[in-house]
Amino acid sequence: MRRGISWGAALAVAAMVTTMVSGVAAGDSAAGTELRDTRGLAADIRYTEFGVPHIKAKDFAGLGYGYGFAAATDNICVLADTYLTVSAQRSRHLGPDAPANTAYGPARDSLTSDLYFQQVNDSRVIERVVAAPPPMGPRREVRAIIGGYVAGYNRYLRDTGVSRISDPACRGAGWVRPITELDVYRHFHALSTIGGQGQVIDGIASAAPPSAPSAPAAVPADAVERVRAALGNPDMGSNAIAVGSDGTANGRGLLLGNPHYPWHGGRRFWQSQLTVPGKLDVSGGSLLGMPMVQIGFNRDVAWSHTVATPITFGLFQVTLVPGDPTTYLVGGKRERMTSRRVAVEVLNPDGSTATVERALYSTRYGPVLSPVFGLPLSWTTDTAYTIRDANQANMRGLNTWFELNRAHSTRDIVDVLSHTQGVPWVNTIAADQSGRALYADIQVVPHVTDELAARCNTPLGAELFPDSGISVLDGSRTDCAWGRDRDALVPGIFGPSRMPVLTRRDYVENSNDSAWLTNPRQPITGYPRIMGDIATKRDPRTRMGITAVEEQLGDLTRQRMQNLLFTNRSWSGEQVAEDVAELCAELPGGRAPTTGGGTVEVGDACTALSNWDRRMNVESRGGLLFERFWLRANEIDDADLWLVQFDAADPVATPNTLNTANPLVAQALGDAVAELRAAGIEPDAPLGENHYVVRNGKRIPIHGGVGQQGVLNMIIPTWDPTRGDVEVVHGSSHIQVVSFTGRRCPNAATLLTYSQSSNPRSAHHADQTALFSTSEWVRSRFCERDILSSPELKVVRLR
């Protein structure tokens, strides 16, 4: 398998590789593999190194056709599982107790998932929005792409046959079926609402009127801590850095896009280039099944997204009519809840099927909930709680990403975000040819001003809102509904003029913190609390990103930005590892306390910490010991962990100075030493020996570290107490570094850390993962001459 590519290699015309299909073969540029289709759709799929498809068609329907065929070729089982989920058919095929597909929100089992998605489907909200004209519904080109995508996906199934799918995960499965355009729109709806209703699937599917008199519970003293625990471990994050003309060596724009997404399941990225000559030419990554580039670049502008801090949903507490728990009061007037009987077909153990029915209820605000987030949101005889999701009717995002694909500057990016208003839950960071760097959090946000929150929050909302941005408004008052701005396309959301936007010539950076410290030279303030906090402690990744960029500002290039990410510096390690090593060396008798009340001999752990290079490279010795220590130490309250507390006047450098006198710090070290010893791991073992994934029986060392360390190349692993970190849950995924040069072809490098295909039988199941292990990148082939000069070029022509 070809490894890294020399950037200075001379162009050479490659021989095309084709396969025999239906008795037709070809091996020259005029006739690739010919596949016939009765609908007349056509696309050329030109594969270059590592299975990256460059899809070219004469129209948008053909473009979607090629995308659907190529995406299904690489990931049919993951995609089929997605359509099984959003069509609420999991219980019918897998059984009600089978695990849910959690890519679109946590659910306790398949039955719960099906009940939730069936009530969404029964509401027909998706059909109504899709039927609407733009800007609410999809524009004409988007409809064509999706129609073509469906035809291409179904073409793959028809040509391959379910029984001949090579991926054992779904070969011969009855739930693999042709899809419709509605399946794709349902998929997008599930992605859009993952930050709102998708977080409370269990609460929606299990809510039921009280069967006996009951009273509301008091607000718990630890309400904020409960919400933090429930929402504090998201499986998505990101870094993005855009550098402008004052920060780059060539005086033009430079972008790092580094989303941290799941390595498995329906939120994997897939890489492609999409071309309709004269109308579209864009390269990048998209979430599986979304047939347009969502993070990428064209000849003029590059953009990425980071998961943003605004809360995209809100809760309402409604007052019920005495003796009638399904009727509530608004402005003193009675309103009946909407009752919908949801029916789901389930598979019995004997192979027969049965129907499970459940009545689910909604108010004018949205679905009624049972307790979620560890909060007392019980439906009693006096009150009920309901959720409103600002993305519930958002199909506008499809138009947003289509238009982003065709933007020519950061100004165009702002214009697209502002007039489509479809980004559901991410920031946008971009750089362009002219050397502008952009941060914009123009997304869907509930119109809950600080004034409205202060006036209308219930006691529970008053407790939660300042810390989390989650509102719990009084649903019995007409003056407590979400507001509206004149420039908002729909009622209940903020207009783009109220959103944080910053354009600079030096740089902008975001690592999932709020907009405030996008650039420390120009803090952003003045936005409402629901969009994020202001003048608060920043995440270690934010502090690392700002520090690393500032150190090289004015000299940044594509290669230096790649190195910035893959040097794997640990911000926390640089701040405290020396102090921890000294603490370790001074422990009485060379023993550290442990949580169980005993002690453990630290042995050579002190030396390992002292000698550690403060990086999380595969060869870094002592890195795993520090990570396991720091995960525990990070649970200590800041007031007890640091001697110097956070100072908003010095937000990058504070807090600092580890409080080694706190016995909990020594205990965290003792627990980490004991943990490694139980796993048979030496304290100074190279990170890659026990921080890896296994693909087709081959162990692949993985570099990177957890977010708490402040490692930009974030990797969240699965810890096995007997072996170490043996899999990646989520982390660096589709990475791109794009440098503009003033020419037509951007100078770009990319990497899809978990590779293009989820199919273990595919040649592209782990090839880029092996590259990632050795910190190599893939040369991006954007211009036509670069594509045609690929030494591994293979062309599939769909007709």
Q: Which residues are catalytic?
A: 238
Q: Decide: helix, strand or coil at residue 174.
A: coil
Rounded Cα distance, 2 and 498, in Å: 49
Rounded Cα distance, 441 and 302, in Å: 16
Q: Torsion over CA of 165, 171, 174 and 176, rounded to 10 degrees?
A: -50
653: which 2 tokens?
Answer: 């450098």
User: Among 614, 629, 628, 630, which Cα is nearest to 569's?
Assistant: 614
Helix then strand count (H, E) for the chain reads 21, 32
Tally the C-alpha atoms within 13 A of residue 400's C-alpha that lie toward its C-beta: 27
Buried b (16+ CB within 10 A) or exposed e, 435-471: bbbbbbbbbbbbbbeeebbeebbbebbebbbeebbbb
∠432-435-438 over CA atoms, to 5°?
65
Rounded Cα distance, 52 and 46, in Å: 8
Lookup result for tokens 């290699």: 9
Strand (E) or helix (H) holding 357: strand 353-362
769: which 2 tokens?
Answer: 């993962």
Give the type of residue at 426. V
Rounded Cα distance, 604 and 173, in Å: 53
Q: How many CB atoms lie within 10 A of CB 1?
A: 11
Give the type of residue at 83. Y
Phi first, then psi: what are they for 282, rounded to 5°?
-145, 145
Q: Hey, CA dihedral for 219, 220, 224, 229, is it positive or negative?
A: negative
Rounded Cα distance, 444 and 426, in Å: 9
β 269-276/52-56 pair status: parallel
Strand (E) or helix (H) holding 64: helix 60-86
Strand (E) or helix (H) holding 226: helix 223-231
Q: Hey, CA dihedral for 776, 778, 779, 780, is it positive or negative?
A: negative
Rounded to 10 deg, the angle between the 60-86 and 140-160 helix axes is 70
192: which 2 tokens?
Answer: 């859009």
